[in-house]
Amino acid sequence: MVSGRTVSRGLAVGLTAAMWSGMAMAMEQPAVIPASEVRDVVARSGLAYRIFVGKPQREAPRGGYPVLYVLDGNAVFGTAVETMRLQSWRSEVSGVDPTLIVAIGYPGDAALSLDRRALDYTPRPAGVAADARSGGADAFLDFIETELKPQIERDLPVDRSRQALFGHSFGGLFVLHALFNRPGTFQAYVAASPSIWWHDRTILAAEASFVARASGIAPKPRLLITVGADEQPQVPAAALPSPHLTRIASARMVEEAEALAGRLAASGALPVAFVSFAGENHASVIPAALSRALRFAGRRAEPPSAPDVP
């Protein structure tokens, strides 16, 4: 004999299952970042790019939006847009205006296109023959400077005096290359965990050339260099348990980033800031670096003495 309690319990379970089944069906749709769009483009070089554009959900100021161009767009676009919205939610307190995010990525669903970023983000050292796998930084910078930026400026209200470039790792190396070779392309540069070690630290030659001619550069751009404090092991390389960790140690990520910031600041070539994020490694540091980048690049004035969040 089946009791009324058993029937009631079975009915409740059936109704609950039906409810969750219906809810699951209703939820089966992609999440969408508001006020954003994606464009697939082919550069004059013949290379394809995916451009992610995140627009502030406020009317543009009279002079247009400041812009942050972000590399590795497939991986970091969502983080950059939502960080911008939080930072600029109370711009009268934070001093950070709503900022246009333009993230440069590649067609496909992969977070990182290792082959393409190795080509686009690395400079070609002097005297080294062209290589289809690396050394394409100048061509990539041409695309940004002569194709992408003009298109964005035609399509959207942009403050051309407040444009910044952010890159991490190889992207940070590219940021340094762009700064040292074409400093007028952006007003602010953010090199997060830059791969200064690449190709026997060849970027340091570009640094020396930039410093030598810096007195003739006006207006001077600003530079922020960031790194995660845990990106460099704190023990001798010989004591590390694996070849991978030994390679990480040999890159001297923290030492090299801090030393570069110190040299540039001492030279007076441009205003430089350096931040080491405690407890962060090469991957975990990205959100922190993006947050600081937006405050560095989008700040219009020092904020009043008040908390960022009420």
For each of the chain's 310 residues, which pLDDT tens digit applies? 555 555 455 555 555 555 555 666 566 778 889 999 999 999 999 999 999 999 998 889 899 999 999 999 999 999 999 999 998 888 877 777 899 999 999 999 999 999 999 999 999 988 787 687 899 999 999 999 999 999 999 999 999 999 999 999 999 999 999 999 999 999 999 999 999 999 999 999 999 999 999 999 999 999 999 999 999 876 555 555 566 666 767 779 999 999 999 999 999 999 999 999 999 999 999 999 999 999 898 665 444 443 333 3
pLDDT for 161: 94
pLDDT for 307: 37
Would you list the DSSP string of 151-203? Answer: HHHHHS-EEEEEEEEEEETHHHHHHHHHHHH-TTS-SEEEEES--TTHHHHTH
148 secondary structure, DSSP code: I
User: Do residues 118 and 136 make contact, with C-beta atoms less than 8 angstroms apart?
Assistant: no
Q: How far is CA 28 from CA 20, 21, 22, 34, in A?
A: 12, 11, 10, 18
Q: How far is CA 143 from the centre of its chain?
A: 18
CATH class of the domain defined by 31-298: alpha beta
Tokens 């100048």 sit at which residue?
138
Rounded-to-integer distance, Cα 222 and Cα 272, Å? 6
pLDDT for 18: 57
Dig out the tokens for 282 from the structure: 């090469």
pLDDT for 299: 61
pLDDT for 42: 98
Active-site residue set: 169, 231, 282
Helices (H), 33-107: 73-87, 91-94
Rounded-to-integer distance, Cα 295 and Cα 88, Å? 9
In this structure, the number of other CB atoms found within 10 A of the CB of residue 220 comes to 15
pTM for this entry? 0.86
Long-range contacts from 32-39, C-beta under 8 angstroms, 24+ separation: 33/77, 33/78, 33/81, 33/82, 36/77, 36/81
Cα angle at 297 between 292 and 299, to 5 degrees?
Answer: 90
pLDDT for 12: 55
